[in-house]
Structure 1
């Protein structure tokens, strides 16, 4: 019974419907050709004028078009089902992944707190424990914020407060303090063109930066190496966020912005929720911008590109 259920899938159902459709079309044409002479005899007896317009052949074409419309409808339903099935599988994997992402820092916090309660630690050891615990709370805070942001974005519940601001300063202010605090002694290089202005929502922009940086750290091969560049490109500001990590296969580079989608690398389990780049894309579009990913392939790193409309610096009266 299980083997039978395994073969009864919408894909096989679609193939079966297509074969049935071919049989029906062949039967329809055969029946029409067989009955054509009788139809003409009926038309000559009751309505000879119909023969002048080729109405009999119109009936054949009309029937075939109707069958084509039915097949097209079935195909559309199949495409919709396949998309829903992919989303369902992604959501199911997402729930499992998020459960793990929540349990890991909570377990770490519990372990460190119990150790602090049961043992008298040296100031150096206590400081190390506190740093680890703060890192775990930051990890939880990021995950919860991403969950809330994704839910609000999916339901179009976020409205940005766009204000003319210095994009160059915002990029520098966010990444400069983190430049020398990457895990595993990672490095970050900044190349920022000064005084580029855009209409920005500071909170949303920080969310974009946070997710880009976290994504680069998650998919780093060993010590993270990150390059952040901001340049003017005509009437646009072009922000490029490059890592030298695991890379993205060409056939997956457009999929990474889907909700819950995570790039899988054989033999590796990479933590994450699959929401980061979805949030980045949604918030960038709300800034009237564009985002895309480029990568030469697996093991060759990846670059996230953001294009935002440039604006003139505010005048003294605007400021």
Structure 2
């Protein structure tokens, strides 16, 4: 089965990492924007404070009058004209009466800022909207030596230059946002894939370990103290325990099967001898016949267990060659019924044990008979295609549900729809797969529309040229 490009866990981790990067990016940019706005505002306040100090030194307050010491300070262009960075100046006495204003304040309308009540170290700052333009206004309290209030100086300038810089930064971030989104997706994908790469490597190595090569171990290089190293050690310890248990079970099955085969064979011989006698009543004869059938069934089960118990053994199948065409001819005589049809070519040879493959054919044909209605057609076909022997057993029986087709070759597994129709133990198809695999072949099952099943065996043909 092909691996998906992105598993659910990979997608979920990529999504979480992508969202995290986006959130960090947005929070960082918001913080940068706010911090930049604050620093620019601080810069304007510092500049205004500096100018207010110069202006306060250039004038004197006498009751409700104002005396200017240095008139040149008030003739600067920024105090006369509405330039790109002007200064709007107003001077008030202690009672809030306007004593002086710069020439440029007379050129704008609706410029009337309410004096603040709270000052810190004789200074105060506030924002003011002037016809859609934002002003930053600074205030300076002028006091005498006794800390008596003499007057208040008000100085304002546009915030447009500083605000433009902050807005330019925000515009740049919005413009480049799609690029960063794409970059974050790529970063998330490669980061997550690289993070899961060692785990996927361990999974691949673990998948290579099966009952037939249980002695293999994970050899992935990792520090024994980190998570991957601990995972490797845990899995290897698990495989050690599994290998021990599997060997114990195989050894027991092998010994038990051998021990059972001898008395069963003797029992079969004695029962066959009794069947040949003529001095039994019909009732006794039927009982002996049932014993014979059950003994045959037991022998078949034990033989199956013997073969399955040696699943991990080195197979000698490839050393033998047999004529499959002749074997099929003999099998067709065993199942000499009109609804069971055989179609096969001549001189088809296979590498393997003929007695083992006979069990394969018998299991597939008997399954087809068992799960088909009486006299429903069963077709056994065999031919050579592209240097491969293709053997199919097709029936028109009750079929196998799609969700269970991948499990029917497992040992002791029985299809849910078949449980009430059979007295089997779920070993037959496991035996079929075991023998076919040892012959370097493969067996699959497909639906036979509109009903039934089709078992397909593919094996390498023997060519004598």
Same fold (TM over 0.5): yes
Aligned: 1:202 with 2:359? no
* Residues 315 and 438, structure 2, Cα contact 8 Å, conserved in 1: no
* Residues 261 and 274, structure 1, Cα contact 8 Å, conserved in 2: yes
Distance 1:267 1:132, change over 3 A: closer
* Residues 229 and 240, structure 1, Cα contact 8 Å, conserved in 2: yes
Aligned: 1:31 with 2:24? yes
Superposed, which structure 2 residues align to 1:106-121 within 5 Å?
Answer: none
For 1:53, the equivalent position in structure 2 comes to none
Question: What 5-or-longer segments of structure 2 have no aligned partner?
Answer: 1-6, 36-181, 207-266, 272-278
Q: Which of 447, 453, 459 in structure 2 is aligned with 1:302?
A: 453
For 2:438, the equivalent position in structure 1 comes to 286
For 2:69, the equivalent position in structure 1 comes to none
For 1:141, the equivalent position in structure 2 comes to 299
Q: Which of 163, 171, 174 in structure 1 is aligned with 2:331?
A: 174
Secondary structure of 1:176's counterpart equals helix
Shift of 1:21: 7.8
* Residues 14 and 189, structure 2, Cα contact 8 Å, conserved in 1: no
Q: Which of 123, 127, 145 in structure 1 is aligned with 2:281?
A: 123
For 1:163, the equivalent position in structure 2 comes to 320
Distance 1:16 1:234 in 2: 42
Superposed, which structure 2 residues align to 1:1-319 within 5 Å?
Answer: 22=15, 25-35=18-28, 65-67=190-192, 122-153=280-311, 155-156=312-313, 158-179=315-336, 187-222=339-374, 225-265=377-417, 268-297=420-449, 300-312=451-463
Shift of 1:256: 3.1
Distance 1:301 1:226 in 2: 10
Question: What 5-or-longer segments of structure 1 have no aligned partner?
Answer: 1-13, 42-56, 81-108, 114-120, 181-185, 315-319
TM-score between both structures, scaled by the size of structure 1 = 0.57
* Residues 247 and 297, structure 1, Cα contact 8 Å, conserved in 2: no
Distance 1:273 1:140 in 2: 11
Distance 1:17 1:198 in 2: 46
Distance 2:300 2:197 in 1: 44
* Residues 237 and 307, structure 1, Cα contact 8 Å, conserved in 2: yes
* Residues 160 and 204, structure 1, Cα contact 8 Å, conserved in 2: no
Distance 1:133 1:192 in 2: 36
Distance 2:413 2:326 in 1: 32
Distance 1:260 1:134, change over 3 A: same
Shift of 1:133: 1.2
Distance 1:279 1:36, change over 3 A: farther
Distance 1:252 1:132, change over 3 A: same
Shift of 1:129: 1.6
Secondary structure of 2:416's counterpart equals coil
- Which structure has the highest helix share of the two? 1
Distance 2:418 2:388 in 1: 38
Counting matched residue pairs gives 243
Distance 2:412 2:197 in 1: 30
- Which structure has the highest strand share of the two? 2
Distance 2:200 2:462 in 1: 46
TM-score between both structures, scaled by the size of structure 2 = 0.42
* Residues 371 and 421, structure 2, Cα contact 8 Å, conserved in 1: no
* Residues 231 and 237, structure 1, Cα contact 8 Å, conserved in 2: yes
